[in-house]
Copies of this chain bind each other. A is one copy, B any other.
Amino acid sequence: MKVIILGGDGYLGWPTAMHLSAKGHEVCVVDNYLRRDLCRKYDVQPLFQVPNLHERIRIWKELTGHEITLRIGDCCQYDFLSNIVKDCVPDAIVHYAEQPSAPFSMMSHEAAFLTVNNNLQSTLNIAWAVREYAPNAHIVKLGTMGEYGTPNIDIEEGWLEVEHKGRKDTFLFPRQASSLYHTTKIQDTDLLWFYVRMWGLRVTDLMQGPVYGLETNETKLDTRLSTIFNYDELFGTVVNRFVVQAIAGYPLTVYGKGGQIRGYLNLRDTIACVELALLNAPAKGELNIFNQVTETFSVNQLADMVAKIGNERGHAVEVQSVENPRMEKEEHYYNPTYSGLKELGLHPHYLTEKVLHNMFSIVEQYKEAISPHKIFKGVKW
């Protein structure tokens, strides 16, 4: 299968690229290093440096013989993106080319403006480029469970049948997010679902929870193939950040009451889910939606689990409740459905003590590199 991975330099993009390449797919990676630039600008560099994409791809080829092609540029530039689609005529496009941080999107007008423009322009351009140059290509877009928010009803997998005054219709499951970033993901779904109906595009929307972990079969081949691993409040996801905080002797920061429940998944499962989505493309004019999580935890549960393993490994881990910097419910109903990907064959890697021990053992190697001042930047909303 010919697959273009937009945002192929990122935390999820690069492991996805290697995984699909290892499986024999013809992979083209596209990125403009936006994430790296923002990390530099806001002083939230990852735990360790990773080579640039040219280097990573050379190393990957040396070690495996597999060729990944590369285009550096901005998916918000239609000429740039549409030329790639025209040249490659892909079977599928995986769309990670979005500004992925909720706190970043809430920092300032400048950051909000960048988030809206980047996420919607890239998505709009993908829809048009596919329509013009690869109308059969399958677009796999990363959504997020955060789009649903925390409704008082069970969260279904993408859709909701509504009965109202004796009549019925089926709609996108209601979306109501709690950050601007998540709101832009609602909006990109609005865009893609519209063009699915109008132009018969084929799209899969993967409603993903926060991802944790830093190891896949491919990253294990060589440390230079590691994925970008942030541990700050802007680009570091909560489990990853907690592990770093535990090792750095920085109290695990539970926001408010810590009863915020979310669905989580392992990095290994993200790439497996993307592969499953690619292998199960919808028909033209159809939008497939999957809730891409494997289990749910409250923040208190996560903090307790990380603290337990940290203490076992000799770190003196403290859990501290801090005033919630976010506007969100700290106690709420939460019952999401997430069976679709398992039915397609996903075998989840759960957040076991063994998995946490493994994360600790990797991060401990970089203990001296942790800059505690990078962890929190004081973003509030």
Contact = CB atoms under 8 A, between A and B. Distances in A.
Interface in A172-193: 172, 174-178, 180, 183, 186-187, 190-191, 193
A191 B117 CA distance: 13
Contacts of A183: 190-191, 194
A190 B119 CA distance: 14
Contacts of A186: 190
Contacts of A41: none
A193 B186 CA distance: 12
Given A160-B162, A174-B162, A333 B109 contact: no
Interface size on A, as a range, is 35 or more
Given A183-B191, A381-B198, A151 B174 contact: no
Nearest to A113: B124
Interface string A333-354: 1000000000000000000000
A121 B113 contact: yes
A78 interface: yes
A313 interface: no
Interface stretch (A42-50, A91-99, A163-171): A163-171
A159 to B, nearest CB: 11
A169 B153 contact: yes
Interface in A112-150: 112-113, 116-117, 120-121, 124-125, 128, 132
B171 A151 contact: yes
Contacts of A78: 109, 113
Interface string A178-215: 10100100110011011001110000000000000000
Contact of A176 (B116, B120, B171): B171
A381 B186 CA distance: 24
Contacts of A112: 124, 128
Contacts of A197: 176, 178, 327
Contacts of A174: 162, 169, 171-172, 174
Interface of A: 78, 109, 112-113, 116-117, 120-121, 124-125, 128, 132, 151-154, 160, 162, 164-165, 167-169, 171-172, 174-178, 180, 183, 186-187, 190-191, 193-194, 197-199, 327, 333, 381
30 contacts: A78-B109, A78-B113, A109-B132, A112-B124, A113-B124, A113-B125, A116-B120, A117-B121, A120-B120, A120-B187, A151-B169, A152-B167, A153-B162, A153-B164, A153-B165, A153-B169, A154-B167, A160-B162, A160-B164, A162-B162, A169-B174, A172-B174, A176-B197, A177-B194, A178-B197, A183-B190, A183-B191, A186-B190, A190-B190, A197-B327
Given A113-B124, A117-B121, A153-B168, 11 more contacts: A78-B113, A112-B124, A116-B121, A116-B191, A117-B117, A153-B165, A153-B169, A162-B162, A183-B191, A198-B381, A199-B381
The 3 closest A-B pairs by CB, nearest first: A171-B174, A152-B169, A153-B164
